């Protein structure tokens, strides 16, 4: 697997309801209820590996998916989530081979 480097986006995964999408920098730290995680500790590790916080909790370092980006990004305008888009496309009668323009 690929190794994490400075500037990479990494999903810090604790459990299904607690995950954070962060851009890795050498001098930053992430503080949460599960403890402190130094970004420098993630640099050089492979995606899929885990780190231990100062409170002895494990956080997995995952490569973010498109879904993670959509769900975790800052939204300044209305966003259509994948589940909603499926319903909208079905109601509009969109068929295979048709183009959709934003």
pLDDT in tens, 11-43: 999 988 888 998 999 999 989 999 999 999 999
Is residue 21 domain-resident? Answer: yes
Query: What integer pLDDT is reported at residue 43 of this predicted model?
Result: 93
Distances, alpha carbon 17 to alpha carbons 13, 14, 20, 35, in Å: 9, 8, 10, 16
**Backbone φ/ψ region at 35: left (φ over 0), alpha (ψ -120 to 50), beta:** left
Q: How many domains does the chain have?
A: 1
Give the model's confidence band at 55: pLDDT under 50 very low, under 70 low, under 90 confident, else very high.
very high
For residue 98, is it within any domain?
no
**Tell me, what CATH number does 60's domain have?**
3.10.330.20
Q: Which domain holds residue 76?
A: 9-92
If you ran DSSP here, which 8-state letter would residue 61 be given? E
Q: Is 29 part of any domain?
A: yes
Contact 45, 61 (CB under 8 A): yes
pTM: 0.68
């Amino acid at each position: 697997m690929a190794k994490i480097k400075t500037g990479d986006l990494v999903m810090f995964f604790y459990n299904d309801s607690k995950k954070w999408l962060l851009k890795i920098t050498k001098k930053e730290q992430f503080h949460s209820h599960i403890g402190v995680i130094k970004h420098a500790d993630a640099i050089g590790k492979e995606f899929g590996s885990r780190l231990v916080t100062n409170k002895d909790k494990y956080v997995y370092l995952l490569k973010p998916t498109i879904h993670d980006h959509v769900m975790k990004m800052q939204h300044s305008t209305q966003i259509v989530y994948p589940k909603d888009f499926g319903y909208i496309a079905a109601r509009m009668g969109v068929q295979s081979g048709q183009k959709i323009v934003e």
